[in-house]
């Protein structure tokens, strides 16, 4: 009879071997560039020579009114973009999922597909199509509104400082509404019928069944969606760039951190690019997302109650 020697663990090589490819690829294309960016932000270029400036670039970004004005403008716009997504995209997504999971609804598959399709489209197409729809010159929006007698309410939204960002946020909501819908839909389907039936016996049907049984059970999914929305919004760039260009007009009303970073890093027209300041902005974006994700992970996710069926 052989006895296992207590205290001596066998090193399981296969785990390391199986992990290796993913770790190598991920490090090469994600971790390394990330540290490269962080490193770039600590240097500056003077007379074509790189010199170490420590946190000097960050001081410029927050201390020089020329930079900080643009930065805070971009950050506030970005927060507004996030708020619109949280208040419009996710509630409507949940509502759609709840409707789709109702067994009495016909053509469910068709609705599900139709609502999800825009998510698969490229930003370029979405941006271009909506720019055309909303165009005061050729767009269908003015004539459609005219047909229902609301022509007077039409404005060149994308060109007005007060509306441009909200309009673009709603375009983005239109595009990505499919993602919360699908995730919540999957979560709703995984709720066992026994629980709902037990609720019915106790008199919970319809709306109250949704509020008292389904909603608590899909809360973890809502949490995941919120954090996905957060990361997506603070990394956003494409839609604004496609519709408003790198200047994020009118008058920087749609400038978000992504477009601000792009303009700084690559330059625009006569303004030359500044890789170091661009990397500084990118680092700040990374920190904002990191902090946001940490708050969620340690503050919210650990407190969510999970149910085992």
Partner 1 sequence: MTTKFINATLLAATMLGSASLAQAADVTLTIESWRNDDLAIWRDTLIPAFEAKNPGIKVIFAPVAPTEYNALVNSKLDTGAAGDLITCRPFDLSLSLYDKGHLASINDIAGLANFSDSAKSAWSTDDAKTTFCMPMASVIHGFIYNKDAFKELGLSVPTTEAEFFAALDKIKADGNYIPMAMGTNDQWEAGTMGFNNIAPNYVKGEEGRLGLIDGSQKLTDANWVAVYEQLAKWKPYLGDGFEAQSYPDSQNLFTLGRAAIYPAGSWEISGFNKQADFKMGAFKAPVKNAGDQCYISDHTDIAMGMNAHTKHPVETKKFLDWMGGAEFASLYANASLGFFSLSNHKVSMSDGLAQEFVSWRGECKSTIRASYKILGRGKPSLDLDQWNAASNVIKGNQSPVDAAKWTQERLAKWYKPQM
Kindly list the residues in this chain that would bind partner 1 in the complex (CB under 8 A): 48, 66, 131, 134-138, 155-161, 244-247, 249-252, 266-274
Q: Which is nearer to partner 1, 237 or 268 (CB)?
A: 268
Comparison of 156 and 220: residue with beta carbon closer to partner 1? 156
Compute the least distance from the CB of residue 245 to partner 1, in Å.
Answer: 6
190 versus 251: smaller Cβ distance to partner 1: 251
- Nearer to partner 1 among residue 221 and residue 275 (C-beta): 275
Q: Using the minimum distance from each CB to partner 1, give the nearer residue, 93 or 278.
A: 278
Closest contact distance (angstroms) between CB of 175 and partner 1 is 20
Tell me whether residue 10 or residue 272 sits nearer to partner 1 (CB atom): 272
CB nearer to partner 1: pick between 56 and 156: 156
CB 234 within 8 A of CB 281: no
Instruction: State in angstroms the smallest separation of the CB of 142 from partner 1.
Output: 8
From the CB of 267, what's the least distance to partner 1, in Å? 6
Nearest approach, Cβ of residue 35 and partner 1 (Å): 19
| Residue 152 beta carbon to partner 1: minimum distance, rounded to whole angstroms | 12
Closest approach of Cβ 251 to partner 1, in Å?
Answer: 6
Q: At what angle do helices 123-134 and 164-176 cross, to 10 degrees?
A: 130
DSSP per-residue string spanning the chain: ---PPTT-PPP-HHHHHHHHHHHHHHIIIIIHHHHHHHHHTTEEEETTEEEE-TTHHHHHHHHSHHHHHHHHHHHHHHHHHHHHIIIIIHHHHHHHHHHHT-TT-SSHHHHHHHHHHHHHS-HHHHHHHHHHHH-TTT-HHHHHHHHTT-GGG---GGG-TTTHHHHHHHHHHHHHTHHHHHHHHHHHHTS-HHHHHHHHHTT--HHHHIIIIIHHHHHHHHHHHHHHHHHHHHT--HHHHHHHTTTTSSTTTT--HHHHHHHHHHEETTEEP-HHHHHHHHHHHHHHHHHHHHIIIIIIGGGS-----
């Amino acid at each position: 009879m052989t006895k296992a020697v207590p205290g001596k663990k066998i090193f399981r090589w296969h785990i390391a071997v199986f992990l290796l490819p993913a770790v190598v690829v991920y490090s090469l294309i994600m971790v390394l560039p990330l540290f490269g960016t962080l490193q770039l932000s600590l240097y500056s270029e003077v007379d074509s020579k790189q010199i170490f400036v420590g946190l000097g670039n960050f001081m410029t970004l927050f201390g020089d009114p020329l930079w900080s004005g643009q930065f805070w403008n971009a950050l506030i716009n970005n927060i507004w973009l996030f708020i619109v997504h949280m208040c419009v995209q996710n509630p409507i997504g949940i509502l759609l999922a709840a409707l789709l999971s109702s067994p009495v609804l016909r053509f469910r598959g068709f609705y599900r597909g139709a609502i999800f399709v825009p998510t698969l489209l490229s930003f370029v197409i979405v941006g271009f199509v909506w720019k055309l729809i909303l165009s005061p010159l050729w767009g269908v929006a003015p004539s459609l509104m005219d047909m229902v007698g609301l022509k007077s309410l039409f404005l060149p939204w994308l060109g007005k400082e007060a509306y441009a960002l909200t309009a673009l946020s709603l375009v983005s909501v239109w595009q990505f509404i499919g993602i919360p819908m699908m995730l919540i839909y999957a979560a709703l389907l995984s709720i066992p019928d026994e629980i709902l039936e037990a609720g019915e016996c106790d008199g919970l049907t319809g709306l109250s069944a949704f509020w008292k049984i389904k909603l608590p059970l899909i809360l973890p999914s809502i949490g995941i969606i919120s954090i996905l929305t957060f990361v997506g919004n603070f990394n956003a760039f494409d839609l604004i760039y496609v519709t408003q260009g790198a200047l994020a007009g009118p008058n920087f009303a749609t400038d978000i951190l992504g477009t601000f970073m792009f303009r700084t890093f690559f330059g625009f027209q006569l303004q030359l690019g500044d890789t170091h300041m661009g990397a500084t902005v990118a680092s700040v974006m990374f920190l904002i997302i990191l902090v946001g994700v940490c708050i969620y992970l340690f503050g919210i996710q650990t407190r969510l109650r999970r149910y085992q069926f």
